[in-house]
Amino acid sequence: MLQEKEISEIKSFLSSPKKITITAHRNPDGDAMGSSLGLLHFLKQLNHEVVFISPNEFPDFLAWLPDTNKVVIFEREYDKALPILQKSDLIFTLDFNALHRTGDAMQKTLETLTNPMMMIDHHQLPDDYAKYTFSDVNYGSTCQMVYDFINILGYNHLINKEIATCLYTGIVTDSGSFRFPKTTSDTHKCVADLIDKGANNSEIHSALFDNSSYTRLQLLGKALQNLKVLPELKASYITLSQEELDSFNYKKGDTEGIVNYGLSIEGIIVTAIFIENKEEGIIKISFRSQGGFDVNEFARNHFNGGGHINAAGGKSFSNLEETVKQFIAILAKEKK
Ligand code: 5GP
Ligand code: MN
């Protein structure tokens, strides 16, 4: 939690126009985009010059969020992004706990900067790079933290429809539409207020989840056919090879949420999806679990990743088949 002294320092810093940059993790999801754009619209209300720099492209299913057309993409627009970062009076880093989560390219740049940073994030074990760190794993989303941050500063009345829409989006996506365990009465009080301030809950849900292409649903069908169950390990997993992705005209965001199907089978407590990325030479993995099975630890210890207790991700540099074998072997070993 932020100290009283830090809060008053931040408040006085924000009381006159500043140059502020916001960034989030690579491959931004609903929470990364929603919290960044929500904070951006809030800081604009306070008359700051604000830019959101995303490490790489954001998925199409979030392109309707207000002002995505002004997002600077670091990996594509380095020459534009660098001076913005260098001239920042403050850099907000949202929805990640360590600079490497912005990817190799942006990490290198961020590490050379001496500009003060502020982290707002809900992942475990935050690194110590920021002047101000608002980090709390009890939150289900960074968006809910940004909402509390605005309230702590005493600016609840400045929350407009744009801010409410962005924050609502990340809360819906990171909570699996309000079903994951970190969804609390505070979450519902927060979204109730966001609805009062103009977030159209039904339209947002529809914009997020009723916008699939036909090929995306066919890809989901393929993923479900590829689903394997390991009852003795209470585990399941899905694979998608590059060839399969290509044959369904894969676009960024198309595999979002598919991993959860593996957990919907009775008796399964841990699941994973392995997605081949030939261009990056990796297998990108998402893990999900129920109860005490800690996939953050699992991803950290075995698959170059991390995240939360019940939702984490990582990557492997072996091929798809080897990676799956490794996954099963580790589970079998841990079971013992
Ligand atoms: P997802 O599976 O939806 O991509 O991510 C689930 C959670 O794990 C998110 O909180 C995300 O930030 C985190 N996560 C995903 N991939 C990685 C990774 O490669 N490294 C780390 N440290 N966290 C990850
Ligand atoms: Mn998040």
What ipTM did this prediction achieve? 0.97
Per-residue pLDDT of the chain (336 residues; tens, 9 = 90+): 899 999 999 999 999 999 999 999 999 999 999 999 999 999 999 999 999 999 999 999 999 999 999 999 999 999 999 999 999 999 999 999 999 999 999 999 999 999 999 999 999 999 999 999 999 999 999 999 999 999 999 999 999 999 999 999 999 999 999 999 999 999 999 999 999 999 999 999 999 999 999 999 999 999 999 999 999 999 999 999 999 999 999 998 999 999 999 999 999 999 999 999 999 999 999 999 999 999 999 999 999 999 999 999 999 999 999 999 999 999 999 988
- Whether residue 251 sits in one domain with residue 182: no
For the Cβ of 313 lying below 6 angstroms from any atom of ligand 1, the answer is: yes
Q: What CATH number has the domain bearing residue 331?
A: 3.10.310.30
Q: Is the alpha carbon torsion for 100, 102, 103, 109 positive or negative?
A: negative
Nearest to 52 by CA among 69, 30, 29: 69
Distance 100 CA to ligand 2 centre (A): 16
CA distances from residue 66 to 37, 41, 156, 162 in whole angstroms, order as listed: 8, 9, 19, 6
How far apart CA 305 and CA 197 sit, in angstroms, is: 37
DSSP state of 51: E
Pair (164, 184) in one structural domain: yes
User: What residues are paired with 92 via a beta bridge?
Assistant: 22, 118
Regarding the beta carbon of 170 and ligand 1, being less than 6 Å apart is answered no
User: What's the structural domain count of the chain?
Assistant: 2
- Answer for the pair 227, 238: CB distance below 8 angstroms, yes or no: yes
Cα(141) to centroid(ligand 2), Å:
5
Look up the domain containing 331 and give its range. 215-335
Q: Is 94 in the pocket of ligand 1 (CB under 6 A)?
A: no
Q: How far is CA 213 from CA 75, 94, 257, in A?
A: 27, 29, 15
- Same domain flag for 152 and 227: no
Alpha carbon of 164 to those of 157, 167, 175: distances in Å?
Answer: 11, 5, 16
Q: Which atom of ligand 1 lies closest to the CA of 286?
A: 2
Among candidate residues 144, 179, 209, the one where a domain is terminated: 209
Q: Is 64 exposed, middle or buried (0-12, 13-18, 19+ CB in 10 A)?
A: middle
Q: Same domain for 177 and 246?
A: no
Q: Are residues 279 and 253 located together in one domain of the fold?
A: yes
204 shares a domain with 222: no
Within this chain, do residues 136 and 92 fall inside the same structural domain, yes or no?
yes
Q: Domain of 134: which CATH number?
A: 3.90.1640.10
Domain boundary among 145, 180, 209: 209
Let me know whether 41 and 100 are in one domain.
Answer: yes
Last residue of a domain, which of 209, 235, 264? 209
